[in-house]
C-alpha cells in the first residue's frame, strides 16, 4: 500500500516553510494572559501488571532517584548577576546574534553598541522565558504520561520527571524574577505546539512531542548556552537542568523505540508528520518576534534578514543536534521512503543524523553522586 503524506499546507497551514506572512499571521500572546485552557482528550490507564518487564526503563528510573537536587539549597542564589557585563562578555564570544551589516537600509542600521546590548539583554530574558514556559509544558505533559502510558515501569519513571519539571519551572522562574526582573509571555508558536501535544489523545504522541522533540531541542539549547555563557549562577543552573533533561529525552527514546518498531507504515506516517510540524514550530519560535517588537522594530521588515542570516541559521540548526539522531533511532527518518529525512534535508539539519542518540548518551550528563558541584558534561 502506498502511503501518502499530507502537504505542508495540511500539516503546517502554509505551503512554504519560510512564508513570512504566514509565520507573522500567528498573533503574539496577550502579555496580560495568566491562564490558558487546553482540552485534554486522553484516557487515564490503570495497569495491574507490576512485573519489571522493561529493564531499560527501570535502570533510568533508578538513575532518576539518585539524581535529584534541591533548587533552593544546591544553587548559589546570592550570586550577584551583572546582566550588562554578562551579555557584553557573551556577545564578544558569539557576536550580537544577527550580523549588523545585513541591516543596511532598515532602522536597525543606525543601532549603536547601546542598542545591540539592549537587544542582547532582552534576547536573554526572552530565551530563558521560553525555557520556563516549555518546562511548564513538560510538567503538564509528564503528568499526562503518568496517567496514560500503559506500562508500570514507565509510570514510575514519569512520576520522577514530574518532580524534575516542577524544579525546572522553579529555577527558571526564580532566575528571571530575581536576576532579570521578570519574564516574557509564552511565544505563540511554542504555545501552539504545546496545545497540540496536550490535545492529542494518543499517549505516544505526548512522548514524541514533548520527550523527543521539545525536550530534545531544549537539551541542545541548554548545552549551547551553558558552553558559552560566563555567568556562574546560570551556568550551574543549566548544568543541573541538563542532567535531568538527558534522562527525560532518553526515557522518550527508550519507550517509543519498542512501540514504533511494531507500528505499520500508515501509523508511523502520522508520527513523522507530527515530528516535522513540531520541528518547524520550534524553529519559528526562535525568530524572537517579541524581542524585535519590544525594541520598536517592524518585524515584517526584519524577518527576511533574520531568516537568512548565516549565523542564526547555523545556531538554529545546532538546536536539532539531539532531535535528528533520536528520530533516526526511532525509525522515523527512513520509513515511508524517507519522508522525514527529506523534510529535515529541506530544513538543513540532516547532518546530525549520525550523532549519538540520547538513549545511549544520557549517562554522560549525570551528576556525580555526592558531588557538591555538577560534574562536567563529557566533551566540555
Task: Tell me which range, 95-99, 108-112, 274-278, is most confidently predicted by mean pLDDT.
Answer: 274-278
Split into its structural domains, the chain has a count of: 1
Q: What is the mean pLDDT of residues 144-171?
A: 97
Q: What is the pLDDT of residue 370?
A: 43
Q: Does the pLDDT at position 368 exceed 70?
A: no
Give pLDDT tens digits for 104-155: 888 888 888 899 999 999 999 999 999 999 999 999 999 999 999 999 999 9
Phi, psi of 41 (to 5 degrees): -100, 10
CA distance 284 to 24: 10
Q: Does the pLDDT at position 274 exceed 50?
A: yes
Residue 285 CA from chain centroid, whole number: 10
Q: What is the mean pLDDT of residues 272-301?
A: 91
Q: Does the pLDDT at position 98 exceed 80?
A: no
For the chain, what is the mean pLDDT?
91
Whether 208 contacts 47, CB under 8 Å: no
> Taking the alpha carbons of 64, 66, 71, 74 in that order, is the dihedral positive or negative?
negative
On whether residue 23 sits in a domain, the answer given is no
CA distance 40 to 308: 37
Cα distances (Å, whole numbers) of residue 210 to 42, 295, 300, 361, 368: 15, 31, 30, 19, 26
CATH of the domain at 195: 1.20.1260.10
- Angle, alpha carbons 145-263-336 (nearest 5°): 120
Residues 6 or more apart whose Cβ sits within 8 Å of residue 351: 317
Element holding 95 (H helix, E strand)? none
Q: What is the mean pLDDT of residues 162-182?
A: 97
CA distance 216 to 343: 18
On whether residue 3 sits in a domain, the answer given is no
Whether 187 contacts 130, CB under 8 Å: yes
**Closest C-alpha to 241, from 326, 152, 134:** 134
Q: Does the pLDDT at position 372 exceed 70?
A: no
On whether residue 239 sits in a domain, the answer given is yes
CA distance 118 to 115: 5
On whether residue 70 sits in a domain, the answer given is no
Higher pLDDT, 155 or 305: 155
Cα distances (Å, whole numbers) of residue 65 to 132, 137, 154, 209: 23, 22, 14, 24
On whether residue 352 sits in a domain, the answer given is yes
- Angle, alpha carbons 89-379-357 (nearest 5°): 115
Whether 248 contacts 168, CB under 8 Å: no
Range of the domain at 219: 89-365
Instruction: Collapse the DSSP code of 57 into the 3-class scheme (helix H, G, I; strand E, B; otherwise coil) and give the result.
Output: helix
On whether residue 37 sits in a domain, the answer given is no
Q: Give the dihedral of Cα atoms 168, 169, 172, 173; nearest 10 deg.
A: -160
| Neighbouring C-beta atoms of residue 57, cutoff 10 Å | 24
CA distance 115 to 295: 9
Phi, psi of 37 (to 5 degrees): -105, 130
Give pLDDT tens digits for 202-235: 999 999 999 999 999 999 999 999 998 989 999 9
On whether residue 245 sits in a domain, the answer given is yes
CA distance 153 to 160: 11
On whether residue 71 sits in a domain, the answer given is no
Q: Does the pLDDT at position 336 exceed 80?
A: yes
Q: Does the pLDDT at position 371 exceed 60?
A: no
Element holding 8 (H helix, E strand)? helix 8-12
Give pLDDT tens digits for 37-51: 999 999 999 999 999
Amino acid at each position: 500500500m502506498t502511503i501518502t503524506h499530507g502537504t505542508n499546507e495540511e500539516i503546517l497551514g502554509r505551503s512554504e516553510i519560510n512564508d513570512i506572512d504566514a509565520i507573522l499571521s500567528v498573533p503574539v500572546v496577550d502579555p496580560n494572559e495568566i491562564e490558558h485552557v487546553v482540552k485534554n482528550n486522553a484516557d487515564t490507564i490503570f495497569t495491574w501488571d507490576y512485573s519489571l518487564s522493561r529493564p531499560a526503563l527501570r535502570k533510568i528510573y533508578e538513575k532518576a532517584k539518585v539524581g535529584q537536587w534541591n533548587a533552593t539549597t544546591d544553587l548559589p542564589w546570592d550570586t550577584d548577576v551583572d546582566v550588562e557585563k554578562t551579555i557584553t562578555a557573551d556577545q564578544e564570544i558569539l557576536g550580537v546574534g544577527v550580523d549588523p551589516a545585513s541591516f543596511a537600509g532598515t532602522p536597525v542600521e543606525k543601532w549603536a553598541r547601546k542598542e545591540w546590548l539592549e537587544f542582547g539583554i532582552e534576547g536573554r530574558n526572552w530565551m530563558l522565558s521560553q525555557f520556563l514556559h516549555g518546562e511548564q509544558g513538560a510538567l503538564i505533559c509528564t503528568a499526562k504520561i503518568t496517567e496514560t502510558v500503559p506500562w508500570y515501569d514507565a509510570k514510575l519513571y514519569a512520576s520522577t520527571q514530574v518532580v524534575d519539571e516542577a524544579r525546572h519551572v522553579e529555577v527558571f522562574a526564580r532566575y528571571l524574577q530575581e536576576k532579570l526582573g521578570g519574564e516574557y509571555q509564552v511565544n505563540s508558536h511554542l504555545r501552539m505546539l504545546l496545545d497540540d501535544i496536550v490535545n492529542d489523545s494518543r499517549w505516544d504522541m505526548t512522548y514524541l512531542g514533548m520527550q523527543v522533540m521539545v525536550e530534545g531541542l531544549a537539551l541542545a539549547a541548554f548545552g549551547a548556552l551553558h558552553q558559552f555563557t560566563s555567568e556562574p549562577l546560570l551556568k550551574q543552573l543549566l548544568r543541573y537542568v541538563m542532567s535531568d533533561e538527558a534522562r527525560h529525552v532518553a526515557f522518550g527514546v527508550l519507550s517509543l523505540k519498542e512501540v514504533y518498531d511494531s507500528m505499520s507504515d500508515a501509523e508511523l506516517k502520522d508520527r513523522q508528520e507530527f515530528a516535522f510540524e513540531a520541528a518547524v514550530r520550534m524553529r519559528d519560535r526562535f525568530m524572537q518576534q517579541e524581542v524585535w517588537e519590544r525594541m520598536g522594530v517592524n518585524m515584517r521588515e526584519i524577518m527576511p534578514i533574520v531568516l537568512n542570516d548565516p549565523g542564526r541559521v547555523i545556531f538554529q540548526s545546532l538546536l536539532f543536534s539531539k532531535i535528528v539522531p533520536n528520530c533516526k533511532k526511532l525509525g522515523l527518518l527512513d520509513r515511508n521512503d524517507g519522508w522525514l529525512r527529506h523534510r529535515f534535508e529541506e530544513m538543513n539539519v540532516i547532518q546530525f543524523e549520525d550523532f549519538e542518540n540520547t538513549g545511549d548518551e544520557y549517562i554522560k550528563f549525570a551528576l556525580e553522586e555526592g558531588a557538591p558541584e555538577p560534574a562536567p558534561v563529557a566533551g566540555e
